[in-house]
Structure 1
Amino acid sequence: MIESCTVLELASVLAGPSVGQFFAELGATVLKVENPRTQGDVTRRWTLPHETPPDDRSAYFCCCNYGKQSVALDLSTERGQDVLHRLVVDTDIVIANYRPGRAEALGADADTLRSINPALLYGHITGYGPDNPRPGYDAVIQAESGFMTMNGSADGPPTKMPVALMDVLAAHHLKEALLVGLLRRTQSGRGAYVPVSLMQAAVSGLANQATNYLNTGHVPQRMGSAHPNIAPYGTAYATADTPVVLAVGTDRQFAALCDVLGRPALAQEERFATNAARVQHREALNEALRPRLAEQSADALLEALHQRGVPAGAVRTLPDVFSDPHAAAMILDTGDAAHPAGLRQIASDSGGEAPVLRPPPEYAADTQAVLRERLGYDESQIAKLETNGVVVCG
């Protein structure tokens, strides 16, 4: 079913393109429609200080755009909208991230496109819902959804997470919703408008922190990596070499930890015998654990803990992460003439072989081919569109 799908991606940056890339990985044809007035997706120019890509594909852009074809189409023009509407006739899914009201001005709103193709699934990512025109940006959503007040050290300022997690959460919400929409469409033949907002995705991601507040009135405070409900869980402890994190979720696991550390009596103390007691006496617990952990070699400690079924792991840098076979297996290498050494990004691991996908597209690289092969335009028609600024051909 997915292999026969065509997806039109009218989205930029991270959330929407991540959804498009997901469908490309599943085998769908994904046409990324880019705006000539901005020279395409803005992330093409989001480079690191030392990054000098040979073309318009920054590392950031590559994280969520492989497997696609790039079509540069000016939807602010009547002819550009006509091209879009022709494409929609044979499209299964549209992914858009227009601010409410903007898509209507471009002839790219759900009502217009679904009037052309009633079976169309229109996935729409907004910042605050389809009735709120505020633009949505991950950093602002992190602040407004409460994440920043909880993130960081207890004596430090509210802190943004180093990944745009609100975009990632919203993308996952839309992936799930569109897959459900495809399933329902096989039964009804009808498409749907599928809205997802960054704010709602963020609030849903508050999980236990939200229910802690809603049911007890507890307002979370910054506490570093510690967990409000479990101890010892999440805090990084120094060892003789590499910091480790413990994720002790049961009393049995805590007793096993104490055995490995040569301090079995700790698990019998009243203040540490249960999780509730350990949470209550968190500082005393840390004072008891830190000196013994600091004497251990991380590798030997982790091996002993794993043998006893105690969840724990080393604090890794990214070079360490990608030396792990599990992570290395997720690296997708795609190369081309501009990148003979390959373009590397992370592919979703579905349990099978890594997908064979084309590299992230250069801006406008596929405009001409899509117009010719999907819509039947001849060379003179394409040249006229390009001359009039409706399209850009790479």
Structure 2
Amino acid sequence: MTFEKQFHETATDRPFPLEGVRILDFSHVLSGPHCTMLLGDLGAEVIKVERPAVGDENRRMRQFQGRSEKDQDYFYPMNRNKKSIVLNLKDPEDLARAITLSKSADVVVENFTPGAMKKLGLDYKSLSRENPSLIYCSISGYGQTGPYRNRKAYDSIIQAVAGVMSITGESDGPPLRSGLMFADLSGAMYGFSSILVSLYAREKTGKGNYIDLSMADALLSLYSTNAAEYLAIGKVPSRAGSENPGRSPTGSYQCKDDRFVQIMGGSNALWPNFCTALGKPELIDDPRFSSNDLRIENRKTLRKILSPLFRQKPALEWVDRLSEVGLPIAPINSLADAMDDPHFKFRQMELPLEHPHSGRIRTINNPFRFSSYETWRSSPPPLLGEHDDDY
């Protein structure tokens, strides 16, 4: 039984929580479009403003093998549930059209270089004169103020400057970029939540709001417990690979079928069950490993003992066996494995859509599950300028 069948009650006359909210979206590439896609998923009307002929840069990214020129595969994952109009913002008539649209918008989102929208007269100060309840979100690499505001910013650059690469990778290896676009996506998530907060506040005050969202700030704020030791005693966090520096045993282990599992076995309460399930009860009272602190101190020795044990069984067998005794463990899935995982299938984390050019396309669903609202729409990513006649 899916969440919708079990919990959905539709206790409102609006099927989606953001039904009736209009978003004027000037953003492109990743951070802004992902933010506005989530708003669209939850019912907002998202009007995506694109450049003539070329549109969003992701429409022009390289084609994958076997795909046609009409398949805009980089564009699809973050642009469902939107309407596309084409405006040349350097043309006075099109610029006037954009300004007119802003008067009926609840939210404007943009992620241009700081100052670009002001030159066009599309900045918050200009638009809010005619629309004082407007919520305006600017997402940029470093924010609208500060010494780095005009620097070019890509995801890996933000990961570097915010310190994330310094704690990513093996302890004896070089700093690594995270495989996910964490800088762009943290900007998108904080932009999304800032807009929701502003909409909520406007319900009480009637006033609009300007949001200056820096991807660098957003990523730095995610340090959380990774920063605890530094903030307390000044010790800088370092790379630890797949291990958790504060617990042992943790990390990834290769299994008989060459798949890896990730374990989190540092709890003193779980240690006896862990050893028993591994078939090594003698480790329970081994003086080198009898507490988490001792296991951290003797981490390398413990790993040498555990590694050949994990090689004795396939990954999923270890997952079942250790899960039964309460140990946090999971297979290290590829994206294909994750998309085919029965849990994510049950949670409906793949959202197939019918696209007029590409036919059936696969997208990854949002994580929202509400009892009183529908939690996703199923409108495919728009063609360039598909909705020009609607606005």
Normalising by structure 2, we get a TM-score of 0.89
Q: Is the 8 A contact 2:43 2:377 kept in 1?
A: no
TM-fit CA distance, 1:337:
3.2
Structure 1 126/258 Cα, relative in aligned 2: closer, same or farther at 3 Å? same
Q: Deviations over 1:149-187 (max 9, x none)?
A: 221223332211122111111111111111111111110
In structure 2, the residue matched to 1:155 is 172
TM-fit CA distance, 1:354:
6.0
Seq. identity, %: 31
Q: Is the 8 A contact 1:18 1:171 kept in 2?
A: yes
> Match of 1:126, as an amino acid?
S
Structure 1 gaps of 5+ residues are 371-394
TM-fit CA distance, 1:69:
0.6
TM-fit CA distance, 1:73:
0.8
In structure 2, the residue matched to 1:169 is 186
- Partner Cα separation in structure 2 for residue 349 and residue 174 of structure 1: 17
TM-fit CA distance, 1:223:
2.5
- Partner Cα separation in structure 1 for residue 307 and residue 210 of structure 2: 53
2:120 to 94, 100, 106: 106
Structure 2 gaps of 5+ residues are 1-16
Q: Name the SS for the 1:22 alignment partner.
A: helix
- Partner Cα separation in structure 2 for residue 51 and residue 251 of structure 1: 53
CA RMSD of aligned residues (A): 1.8
- Partner Cα separation in structure 1 for residue 377 and residue 115 of structure 2: 38
The reply on whether 1:247 has 2:268 as its aligned counterpart is: no
Q: Deviations over 1:22-62 (max 9, x none)?
A: 011101110011122x711111122355263441x522211
In structure 2, the residue matched to 1:334 is 353
TM-fit CA distance, 1:77:
2.5
Q: Is the 8 A contact 1:15 1:168 kept in 2?
A: yes
TM-fit CA distance, 1:237:
0.4
The reply on whether 1:121 has 2:135 as its aligned counterpart is: yes
Q: Name the SS for the 1:59 alignment partner.
A: coil
Structure 1 228/319 Cα, relative in aligned 2: closer, same or farther at 3 Å? same
Structure 1 282/42 Cα, relative in aligned 2: closer, same or farther at 3 Å? same
Report runs of 4+ in structure 1 exceeding 6 Å deviation.
Answer: none
Alignment of 1:64-143 (within 5 A): 64-131=78-145, 132-143=149-160
- Partner Cα separation in structure 2 for residue 267 and residue 99 of structure 1: 58
> Match of 1:302, as an amino acid?
V
In structure 1, the residue matched to 2:9 is none
In structure 2, the residue matched to 1:345 is 363
Flag the structure with higher helix content.
Answer: 1
TM-fit CA distance, 1:260:
0.3
Q: Name the SS for the 2:85 alignment partner.
A: strand
1:47 to 36, 44, 62: 62
In structure 2, the residue matched to 1:376 is none
- Partner Cα separation in structure 2 for residue 248 and residue 116 of structure 1: 59
Q: Deviations over 1:283-320 (max 9, x none)?
A: 11211211212112322221121111111011212221
- Partner Cα separation in structure 2 for residue 221 and residue 126 of structure 1: 28
Q: Is the 8 A contact 2:355 2:381 kept in 1?
A: no
Q: Name the SS for the 2:101 alignment partner.
A: helix
- Partner Cα separation in structure 2 for residue 334 and residue 208 of structure 1: 39
Q: Name the SS for the 2:270 alignment partner.
A: helix
> Match of 1:25, as an amino acid?
D
In structure 1, the residue matched to 2:315 is 298
Normalising by structure 1, we get a TM-score of 0.88
Structure 1 252/91 Cα, relative in aligned 2: closer, same or farther at 3 Å? same
Q: Name the SS for the 1:322 alignment partner.
A: helix
Stretch moving more, 98-107 or 41-50? 41-50
In structure 1, the residue matched to 2:77 is 63
2:207 to 180, 190, 208: 190
- Partner Cα separation in structure 2 for residue 278 and residue 72 of structure 1: 61
- Partner Cα separation in structure 2 for residue 34 and residue 252 of structure 1: 57
Task: Tell which has more relative contact order, 1 or 2 (C-alpha 8 A, sep 6+).
Answer: 2
- Partner Cα separation in structure 2 for residue 350 and residue 203 of structure 1: 25
- Partner Cα separation in structure 2 for residue 247 and residue 71 of structure 1: 49
- Partner Cα separation in structure 2 for residue 275 and residue 47 of structure 1: 49
- Count of residue correspondences: 366
